[in-house]
Amino acid sequence: DGGITQSPKYLFRKEGQNVTLSCEQNLNHDAMYWYRQDPGQGLRLIYYSQIVNDFQKGDIAEGYSVSREKKESFPLTVTSAQKNPTAFYLCASSPQGAGYTFGSGTRLTVV
Amino acid sequence: DQQVKQNSPSLSVQEGRISILNCDYTNSMFDYFLWYKKYPAEGPTFLISISSIKDKNEDGRFTVFLNKSAKHLSLHIVPSQPGDSAVYFCAARSGGYQKVTFGTGTKLQVIP
Protein backbone atom coordinates (compact mmCIF):
# COMPACT_ATOMS: atom_id res chain seq x y z
CA ASP A 1 0.00 0.00 0.00
CA GLY A 2 1.40 3.35 -1.04
CA GLY A 3 1.31 6.15 1.41
CA ILE A 4 3.07 8.74 3.48
CA THR A 5 4.32 7.93 6.97
CA GLN A 6 5.12 10.38 9.73
CA SER A 7 6.82 9.34 12.91
CA PRO A 8 6.55 9.56 15.79
CA LYS A 9 2.87 10.35 16.34
CA TYR A 10 3.61 12.15 19.62
CA LEU A 11 6.88 13.83 20.53
CA PHE A 12 7.98 15.67 23.63
CA ARG A 13 10.92 18.03 23.63
CA LYS A 14 12.66 19.92 26.37
CA GLU A 15 13.23 23.61 25.84
CA GLY A 16 16.54 24.28 24.10
CA GLN A 17 16.69 20.93 22.34
CA ASN A 18 16.55 20.23 18.64
CA VAL A 19 14.19 17.51 17.47
CA THR A 20 13.70 15.84 14.07
CA LEU A 21 10.37 14.73 12.67
CA SER A 22 10.40 11.96 10.10
CA CYS A 23 8.41 11.88 6.86
CA GLU A 24 8.67 9.04 4.34
CA GLN A 25 6.60 8.40 1.22
CA ASN A 26 6.49 5.48 -1.19
CA LEU A 27 4.20 7.16 -3.71
CA ASN A 28 7.05 8.19 -6.02
CA HIS A 29 5.93 11.81 -5.64
CA ASP A 30 8.37 14.51 -6.65
CA ALA A 31 7.23 17.23 -4.26
CA MET A 32 7.07 17.14 -0.47
CA TYR A 33 5.90 19.70 2.06
CA TRP A 34 5.81 20.47 5.76
CA TYR A 35 2.87 22.30 7.30
CA ARG A 36 2.13 23.35 10.83
CA GLN A 37 -1.38 23.50 12.27
CA ASP A 38 -2.27 25.75 15.19
CA PRO A 39 -5.78 26.36 16.52
CA GLY A 40 -7.55 29.04 14.48
CA GLN A 41 -4.67 29.42 12.02
CA GLY A 42 -5.24 26.66 9.55
CA LEU A 43 -2.25 25.06 7.84
CA ARG A 44 0.85 27.16 7.39
CA LEU A 45 3.67 26.14 5.08
CA ILE A 46 7.09 25.69 6.70
CA TYR A 47 9.24 24.26 3.89
CA TYR A 48 8.71 22.51 0.59
CA SER A 49 10.79 20.58 -1.89
CA GLN A 50 9.94 20.02 -5.53
CA ILE A 51 12.94 17.85 -6.31
CA VAL A 52 15.71 15.94 -4.57
CA ASN A 53 18.50 18.11 -3.14
CA ASP A 54 16.42 21.26 -3.46
CA PHE A 55 14.01 22.90 -1.03
CA GLN A 56 12.42 26.29 -0.49
CA LYS A 57 11.28 28.24 2.55
CA GLY A 58 7.58 28.54 3.11
CA ASP A 59 5.75 31.21 5.06
CA ILE A 60 7.07 30.33 8.53
CA ALA A 61 10.50 28.77 8.01
CA GLU A 62 12.30 30.52 10.88
CA GLY A 63 13.54 28.05 13.49
CA TYR A 64 13.17 25.05 11.19
CA SER A 65 15.48 23.18 8.83
CA VAL A 66 14.97 20.39 6.29
CA SER A 67 16.90 18.13 3.97
CA ARG A 68 15.92 16.22 0.84
CA GLU A 69 18.69 13.71 0.14
CA LYS A 70 16.30 11.06 -1.13
CA LYS A 71 13.07 11.32 -3.06
CA GLU A 72 11.27 9.29 -0.42
CA SER A 73 12.34 11.26 2.64
CA PHE A 74 11.88 14.84 3.84
CA PRO A 75 12.80 15.17 7.55
CA LEU A 76 12.03 18.36 9.46
CA THR A 77 14.24 19.57 12.31
CA VAL A 78 12.69 21.89 14.85
CA THR A 79 15.57 23.84 16.33
CA SER A 80 15.88 25.64 19.64
CA ALA A 81 15.48 28.88 17.68
CA GLN A 82 11.80 28.12 17.08
CA LYS A 83 10.04 30.11 19.80
CA ASN A 84 6.67 28.35 19.76
CA PRO A 85 7.29 24.80 18.60
CA THR A 86 4.27 23.17 20.24
CA ALA A 87 1.95 22.33 17.35
CA PHE A 88 0.61 19.61 15.09
CA TYR A 89 2.99 19.03 12.17
CA LEU A 90 1.81 17.63 8.85
CA CYS A 91 3.89 16.31 6.01
CA ALA A 92 2.47 16.00 2.49
CA SER A 93 3.59 14.91 -0.94
CA SER A 94 2.28 15.38 -4.45
CA PRO A 95 3.07 14.45 -8.03
CA GLN A 96 3.33 17.22 -10.58
CA GLY A 97 0.15 19.20 -11.01
CA ALA A 98 -1.97 17.24 -8.54
CA GLY A 99 -3.32 17.53 -5.03
CA TYR A 100 -1.59 16.56 -1.85
CA THR A 101 -1.51 13.32 0.07
CA PHE A 102 -1.00 14.00 3.76
CA GLY A 103 0.56 11.94 6.50
CA SER A 104 -1.23 11.41 9.79
CA GLY A 105 0.77 14.09 11.58
CA THR A 106 3.10 14.47 14.56
CA ARG A 107 2.01 16.28 17.70
CA LEU A 108 5.04 18.04 19.18
CA THR A 109 4.90 19.33 22.74
CA VAL A 110 7.61 21.33 24.47
CA VAL A 111 7.91 20.48 28.15
CA ASP B 1 -1.70 38.29 4.48
CA GLN B 2 -4.35 35.59 4.36
CA GLN B 3 -4.88 34.85 0.66
CA VAL B 4 -7.48 32.15 1.30
CA LYS B 5 -10.14 32.96 3.86
CA GLN B 6 -12.79 30.88 5.52
CA ASN B 7 -14.72 33.39 7.56
CA SER B 8 -16.92 30.90 9.40
CA PRO B 9 -14.90 28.97 11.97
CA SER B 10 -17.82 26.64 12.68
CA LEU B 11 -21.13 25.46 11.26
CA SER B 12 -23.88 23.24 12.67
CA VAL B 13 -26.36 21.47 10.41
CA GLN B 14 -29.12 18.96 10.98
CA GLU B 15 -28.61 15.51 9.49
CA GLY B 16 -30.18 15.25 6.04
CA ARG B 17 -30.03 18.99 5.36
CA ILE B 18 -27.57 20.85 3.16
CA SER B 19 -24.20 22.04 4.48
CA ILE B 20 -22.68 25.04 2.71
CA LEU B 21 -19.07 25.93 3.46
CA ASN B 22 -17.70 29.14 2.02
CA CYS B 23 -14.26 30.30 0.99
CA ASP B 24 -12.92 33.58 -0.40
CA TYR B 25 -9.57 34.24 -2.01
CA THR B 26 -7.65 37.36 -2.93
CA ASN B 27 -4.96 36.13 -5.32
CA SER B 28 -6.27 36.30 -8.90
CA MET B 29 -3.42 34.03 -10.02
CA PHE B 30 -5.01 31.04 -8.27
CA ASP B 31 -6.37 28.69 -10.92
CA TYR B 32 -6.99 25.45 -9.07
CA PHE B 33 -8.98 25.01 -5.89
CA LEU B 34 -9.30 22.09 -3.52
CA TRP B 35 -11.26 21.07 -0.47
CA TYR B 36 -9.81 18.85 2.24
CA LYS B 37 -11.51 17.18 5.17
CA LYS B 38 -9.72 16.66 8.46
CA TYR B 39 -10.55 14.63 11.55
CA PRO B 40 -8.78 15.41 14.87
CA ALA B 41 -5.23 14.08 15.17
CA GLU B 42 -5.23 12.93 11.54
CA GLY B 43 -3.90 14.35 8.30
CA PRO B 44 -6.33 16.06 5.90
CA THR B 45 -7.79 13.97 3.11
CA PHE B 46 -8.61 15.27 -0.34
CA LEU B 47 -12.30 15.72 -0.99
CA ILE B 48 -12.94 17.52 -4.26
CA SER B 49 -11.29 20.06 -6.54
CA ILE B 50 -12.16 22.50 -9.31
CA SER B 51 -10.18 24.17 -12.05
CA SER B 52 -10.72 27.85 -12.72
CA ILE B 53 -12.04 27.04 -16.20
CA LYS B 54 -15.11 25.47 -14.59
CA ASP B 55 -17.78 26.89 -12.32
CA LYS B 56 -19.05 23.64 -10.87
CA ASN B 57 -17.74 20.19 -10.05
CA GLU B 58 -19.81 17.42 -8.53
CA ASP B 59 -18.82 14.15 -6.86
CA GLY B 60 -21.62 12.25 -5.19
CA ARG B 61 -22.95 14.26 -2.26
CA PHE B 62 -20.26 16.93 -2.69
CA THR B 63 -20.43 19.85 -5.11
CA VAL B 64 -18.01 22.73 -5.37
CA PHE B 65 -19.05 26.01 -6.98
CA LEU B 66 -16.60 28.64 -8.18
CA ASN B 67 -17.43 32.29 -8.81
CA LYS B 68 -14.27 33.79 -10.27
CA SER B 69 -15.57 37.32 -10.53
CA ALA B 70 -16.35 37.31 -6.82
CA LYS B 71 -13.26 35.26 -5.96
CA HIS B 72 -15.51 32.95 -4.02
CA LEU B 73 -16.02 29.23 -3.85
CA SER B 74 -18.35 27.07 -1.84
CA LEU B 75 -18.69 23.41 -0.95
CA HIS B 76 -22.18 21.94 -0.76
CA ILE B 77 -22.83 18.66 1.02
CA VAL B 78 -26.24 17.12 0.39
CA PRO B 79 -27.55 15.34 2.35
CA SER B 80 -25.34 15.95 5.35
CA GLN B 81 -24.45 12.93 7.46
CA PRO B 82 -23.01 12.68 11.00
CA GLY B 83 -19.81 11.19 9.53
CA ASP B 84 -19.29 14.48 7.68
CA SER B 85 -18.52 16.17 11.00
CA ALA B 86 -14.93 17.36 10.61
CA VAL B 87 -12.86 20.43 9.82
CA TYR B 88 -12.96 21.43 6.16
CA PHE B 89 -10.08 23.32 4.59
CA CYS B 90 -10.32 25.28 1.39
CA ALA B 91 -7.06 25.48 -0.58
CA ALA B 92 -5.78 27.15 -3.74
CA ARG B 93 -2.85 26.86 -6.13
CA SER B 94 -1.54 28.93 -9.02
CA GLY B 95 -0.39 27.51 -12.35
CA GLY B 96 1.74 24.39 -12.31
CA TYR B 97 3.30 25.66 -9.13
CA GLN B 98 2.97 22.99 -6.51
CA LYS B 99 2.63 25.15 -3.44
CA VAL B 100 -0.90 25.17 -2.06
CA THR B 101 -2.26 27.88 0.21
CA PHE B 102 -4.79 26.75 2.81
CA GLY B 103 -7.58 28.59 4.53
CA THR B 104 -8.07 28.53 8.29
CA GLY B 105 -10.75 25.83 8.18
CA THR B 106 -14.42 25.50 9.09
CA LYS B 107 -15.52 22.99 11.69
CA LEU B 108 -18.71 21.29 10.55
CA GLN B 109 -20.95 19.53 13.03
CA VAL B 110 -23.80 17.44 11.64
CA ILE B 111 -26.39 16.84 14.32
CA PRO B 112 -28.25 13.50 14.19
How much is the pLDDT for B94?
Answer: 81
In the stretch 1-40 of chain B, residues with CB closer than 8 A to chain A read 6, 9, 34, 36
Could you tell me the CA-to-CA distances from B30 to A103, B24, B52, B63, B94 in Å, in that order?
A: 25, 11, 8, 19, 4
* Per-residue pLDDT tens digits for A37-71: 987 778 999 999 989 999 999 989 999 999 999 99
DSSP secondary structure string for all residues of chain B: --SEE---SEEEEETTS-EEEEEEE--TTEEEEEEEEE-TTS--EEEEEEETT-SEEEETTEEEEEETTTTEEEEEESS--GGG-EEEEEEEEETT---EEE---EEEEEE-
Q: For A91, name the nearest residue in chain B, comparing CA atoms only.
A: B43
How much is the pLDDT for A83?
Answer: 87
Across chain A, what does the average pLDDT equal? 91
B105 in contact with A, Cβ within 8 Å: yes
Q: How many other C-beta atoms lie within 10 A of the C-beta of residue A101?
A: 20
Per-residue pLDDT of chain B in tens (112 residues, 90 and over written 9): 679 999 999 999 999 999 999 999 999 989 899 999 999 888 999 999 999 999 999 999 999 999 999 999 999 999 999 999 999 999 998 866 567 889 999 999 999 9
